[in-house]
Structure 1
Amino acid sequence: MAASVPALHLLCGKPATGKSTLAGEDATVMLAEDVWLAALFADQMTSVSDYVRCAAKLQTVIAPHVVSLLGTGVSVVLDFPANTVANRNWMRGILGDMGVAHHLHYLDVPDSVCLDRLRARNLAGDHPFALTDEQFWQIARHFEPPTAKEGFNVVRHRLAPAG
């Protein structure tokens, strides 16, 4: 994801597609939603609706911080899910009129692979949140792949189903 000019990198994909892994591959500033949510709201998040409420609070603080970083010429990887049109509109708002380059990394991974990774991640215990299969499906049903009409520079990372 490295770039010679400052850029905002956005991540789109269902849970356990590898968004955070991809985000960690670059030497830019990375802001990871899961880390911030775990530190600030872990005791308040027991459901998907709790997540939505807490994530909205976090967005109000993170957006001006990202603008500030980009304004200084620093590239940012925003490890927040760009999984719905509404979330991507919020991210589009961060870009505003700055004229900063952006890349929407779309991780297109089969659900079966995501679930296998999710279960392995839960067993390893090294992720701030452990999702159940049911929670995966609750979140996945709201997933909206990016479309050309949204106007993002999409970089597609496709993983074919095993077999």
Structure 2
Amino acid sequence: MPTLHLLCGKIASGKSTLAKTLATEHAAIVLSEDHWLATLYPGEIHAIADYIKCAQRIRGVLGPLVINVLQSGLDVVLDFPANTVASREWLLGLAHAAKARHCLHYLELDDATCRARLHARNAQGEHDFAATDAEFDLITRHFSVPSEAEGLVIERHHP
């Protein structure tokens, strides 16, 4: 039975790096929200509201694709932030619709470590988006630690 791998962790916690590792380990395809956003909306995302609008569009298109790929028997790694209950509900719904297993990979890192990694990542200039400290703080305020009570199978990582 195919598996939908989901990623939860604060900005710069290592979600995209783990996504690549999971894809190799499970012969899975990776769909990266950051890549789709940067490709489809270059220079258009300047605020959180822009991100939300564009991310919703992408989810509307990719949701059915993810279900179809899972139904074809392939594992999928969704490099989308499963950082709120609402996001996790949508992502879990994809697995249920495809009658596939799921695993939420939760990267547990403290804010100081994530912020230091963010600064290093921004300095390298290789990531699709370079969040500021203010954006890190704003987005982190909305972060919700995942729980098995949400119906999730959770694997915790301490990178």
Residue type of the alignment partner of 2:63: A
Q: Are 2:121 and 1:121 aligned? A: yes
Matched residue, 1:55: 55
Q: Are 2:108 and 1:112 aligned? A: no
* Alpha-carbon shift at residue 99 of structure 1 (Å): 2.6
Task: Give yes or no for contact 2:85–2:146 (8 Å, CA) kept in 1.
Answer: yes
- Deviant stretches of 4+, over 4 Å: none
What are the ranges of 5 or more consecutive residues in structure 1 without an aligned counterpart? none
**1:8-41: CA deviations, max 9, x gaps?**
0000011000000000012310000000000001
Matched residue, 2:17: 21
Compare the two structures and name the one with the higher helix fraction: 2
Structure 1 residues 97 and 51: alpha-carbon distance in aligned structure 2, compared to 1, 3 A threshold:
closer
* Alpha-carbon shift at residue 148 of structure 1 (Å): 1.7
Task: Give yes or no for contact 2:31–2:77 (8 Å, CA) kept in 1.
Answer: yes
> TM-score, normalised to structure 2's length?
0.94
RMSD: 1.0
SS of 1:21's equivalent in the other structure is helix
How many corresponding residue pairs? Answer: 155
> TM-score, normalised to structure 1's length?
0.92
* Alpha-carbon shift at residue 97 of structure 1 (Å): 4.2
- The sequence identity of aligned pairs, in percent, is 47
Instruction: Give the whole-Å Cα distance in 1 for the aligned partners of 2:96 and 2:6.
Output: 15
Q: Are 2:6 and 1:10 aligned? A: yes
Instruction: Give the whole-Å Cα distance in 2 for the aligned partners of 1:20 and 1:120.
Output: 15
Alignment of 1:1-163 (within 5 A): 5-25=1-21, 26-27=23-24, 28-159=28-159
Instruction: Give the whole-Å Cα distance in 1 for the aligned partners of 2:103 and 2:122.
Output: 29
* Alpha-carbon shift at residue 92 of structure 1 (Å): 1.6
SS of 1:129's equivalent in the other structure is coil
Instruction: Give the whole-Å Cα distance in 1 for the aligned partners of 2:97 and 2:61.
Output: 19
Residue type of the alignment partner of 1:77: V
**1:81-129: CA deviations, max 9, x gaps?**
0000000111122122433111000001010010010000000000010
SS of 1:42's equivalent in the other structure is coil
